Amino acid sequence: MTEDAEARAARLRAQSEEGATAVDRRSQAKEWAEKQVAAVRGTARSQHGDVAATVDHSGLLLRLELSPLTKQAKHDDLAHAITGVVRQATADARNQVREVYVRLQNEGVIRSLPPFLLPAPEAGAVTLALPVRGNSPARRAGDSAEEGPPDSWLKDDPW
CA quadruple 139, 142, 146, 151: dihedral sign: negative
Rounded Cα distance between 20 and 18, Å, is 5
Residues 16-29, mean pLDDT to the nearest whole number: 81
Residues 15-31, mean pLDDT to the nearest whole number: 81
Domain assignment of residue 78, yes or no: yes
Give the domain range for residue 84.
27-111
Q: Helices 3-38 and 75-106, interaxial angle, to 10°?
A: 170
Domain assignment of residue 124, yes or no: no
Domain assignment of residue 56, yes or no: yes
Domain assignment of residue 11, yes or no: no
Domain assignment of residue 151, yes or no: no
Rounded Cα distance between 8 and 110, Å, is 30
Q: How many domains does the chain have?
A: 1
Domain assignment of residue 66, yes or no: yes
CATH number, position 49: 3.30.1310.10
Residues 63-71, mean pLDDT to the nearest whole number: 93
Domain assignment of residue 82, yes or no: yes
Report whether pLDDT(138) > 60: no
Domain assignment of residue 123, yes or no: no
Report whether pLDDT(150) > 60: no
The residue that leads in pLDDT, 124 or 16, is 16
